[in-house]
């Protein structure tokens, strides 16, 4: 029973939140004249000493005392005697743990958002540096149209910006205080729940005592935001794995973010990117785990809820490590402009530019232009040539009205430069947007 019931090995990391909640509760009890000022002062001094003992690594956690709450309460009693027993007036472990966990999840949201901002700043800085570096843009992992790698990096800035917003939204919704809901029904003591909520930085007390102690949707939202972020990290990690392979050769990681092989001395493996990619499964698994814990739980508290913290802690730890590693990799990665531009020129990536020129210059319906372009691409394939390497006569054999002016749009540089519409890959657009992000993120620090 002790083995299955004890949670101290997991929830001891809530000690800061538990002590903060107890300080606020003791101050409120004294303010409401439920306990004396002398007892509140003794409780606060005892809690301060316990915090110092834990910080120094001197505190002895006991599995026999089950959880962080009882461990701290037992030590408090040993330090200050009878007054310690008055701390638990008008509260239960149910509202206590719900408060501790919300405080921890709130801090996790803040830390994840800050880590995302750091990653976005690294990406935006890289985008500004490489605003004009042409690379192949892909659909279906097939060469589609030329883009710049700066534009590519900014795509991830947008994704991670939305992720940061999700953490901020989750934080706003979870910022209600369960303390004072007691076991499930509230308390007959004349407590001031607004006082404790304010002391702990919450916007307000939870309005329903049953909901306060039994809901964990705040943790589910945190894990949902973490999972979506992890998916975005995994996508970028996969691209780094591809780009740094000899088959692509678009980029390289230094020894700081790659490893060698035990038997193949030529290898430089993108292990950090691969591990970021793998951690997505662990983070998504934590979300699924908590969803399954919560399903079909009747109100109010049940011991099943003890399983909420292990999954959440693991996911948040994995996400923090993945964000830090990705930020480091983005700063470290060296871009091979020549290899990217050469690859962008292959695969007839300017075929759409040819079709667009036929529409603009010859007033040709786009579907007809698409057909003509397809025939020209077939000729280029037969000749093993790029579109801009075909002689004008070959183009005119398909469409006699084509003029020399068509070659102004067939290079990859001309293609990306033409994409000037808002959100497009034109280097001027990319540089302007990258600078906007760099400036905005610097202001948010």
Q: What is Dmax (Cα atoms) for the chain?
A: 100
Distances (CA, A) of 389 to 118, 206, 414: 44, 70, 15
CB contact set of 288 (below 8 Å; sequence gap of 6+) = none
Residue 136: beta bridge partners? 146
Sequential DSSP letters for 337-382: HHHHHHHHHGGGTTHHHHHHHHHHHH---HHHHHHHHHHHHHHHHH
Query: How many whole angstroms from its chain centre is CA 142?
Result: 28
Residues counted in the chain: 445
Sequential DSSP letters for 118-163: HHHHHHHHHHHHTTT-EEEEEETTEEEEEEEHHHHHHHHHHHHHHH
Which residue among the candidates 62, 245, 254, 261 is catalytic per the annotation? 261
Which pairs from 286-295 meet CB under 8 Å and 24+ separation? Answer: 286/223, 286/226, 286/227, 286/311, 286/312, 286/314, 286/315, 287/220, 287/223, 287/224, 287/226, 287/227, 287/311, 287/315, 290/216, 290/219, 290/220, 290/223, 291/220, 293/216, 294/216, 294/217, 294/220
**Rounded to whole angstroms, how far apart are CA atoms 289 and 279?**
15
CB 341 within 8 A of CB 146: no
CB contact set of 60 (below 8 Å; sequence gap of 6+) = none
Catalytic annotation present for 261:
yes
Question: Tokens standing for 314?
Answer: 């693991």
CB 179 within 8 A of CB 197: yes
* R_g (Cα) of the chain, nearest Å: 30
User: If we measure between CA atoms, which residue out of 5, 10, 4 comes closest to residue 61?
Assistant: 10
Q: Catalytic positions, please?
A: 140, 261
């Amino acid at each position: 029973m002790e083995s299955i019931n004890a949670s101290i090995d997991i929830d001891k990391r809530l000690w800061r939140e538990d002590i903060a909640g107890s300080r606020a509760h003791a101050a409120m009890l004294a303010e409401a004249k439920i306990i004396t000022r002398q007892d509140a002062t003794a409780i606060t001094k005892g809690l301060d000493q316990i915090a110092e003992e834990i910080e120094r690594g001197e505190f002895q956690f006991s599995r026999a005392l089950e959880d962080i709450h009882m461990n701290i309460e037992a030590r408090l009693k040993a330090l200050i005697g009878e007054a310690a027993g008055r701390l638990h007036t008008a509260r239960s472990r149910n509202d206590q743990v719900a408060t501790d966990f919300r405080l921890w999840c709130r801090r996790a949201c803040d830390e994840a958002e800050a880590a995302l901002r750091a990653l976005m700043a690294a990406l935006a800085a890289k985008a500004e540096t490489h605003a004009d570096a042409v690379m192949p843009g892909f659909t279906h992992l097939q060469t589609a149209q030329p883009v710049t790698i700066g534009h590519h990096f900014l795509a991830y800035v947008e994704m991670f910006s939305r992720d940061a917003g999700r953490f901020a939204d989750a934080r706003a919704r979870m910022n209600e205080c369960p303390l004072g809901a007691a076991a499930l029904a509230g308390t007959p003591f004349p407590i001031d729940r607004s006082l404790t909520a304010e002391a702990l930085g919450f916007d307000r007390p939870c309005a329903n005592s049953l909901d306060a102690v039994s809901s964990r949707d705040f943790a589910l939202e945190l894990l949902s935001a973490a999972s979506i972020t992890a998916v975005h990290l995994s996508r970028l990690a996969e691209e780094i794995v591809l780009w740094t392979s000899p088959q692509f050769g678009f980029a390289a990681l230094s020894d700081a973010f790659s490893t060698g092989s035990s038997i193949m001395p030529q290898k430089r493996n993108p292990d950090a990117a691969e591990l970021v990619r793998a951690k997505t499964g662990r983070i998504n698994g934590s979300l699924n785990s908590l969803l399954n814990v919560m399903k079909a739980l009747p109100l109010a508290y049940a011991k099943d809820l003890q399983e909420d913290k292990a999954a959440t802690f693991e996911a948040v730890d994995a996400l923090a490590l993945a964000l830090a590693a990705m930020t480091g990799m983005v700063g470290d990665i060296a871009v091979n402009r020549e290899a990217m531009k050469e690859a962008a020129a292959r695969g007839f990536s300017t075929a759409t530019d040819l079709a667009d020129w036929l529409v603009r210059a010859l007033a040709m319906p786009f579907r007809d232009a698409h057909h003509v372009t397809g025939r020209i691409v077939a000729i280029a394939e037969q000749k093993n040539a790029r579109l801009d390497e075909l002689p004008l006569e070959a183009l005119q054999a398909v469409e006699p009205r084509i003029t020399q002016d068509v070659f102004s749009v067939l290079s990859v540089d001309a293609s990306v430069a033409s994409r000037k519409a808002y959100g497009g890959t034109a280097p001027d657009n990319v540089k302007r947007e990258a600078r906007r992000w760099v400036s905005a993120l610097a202001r948010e620090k």
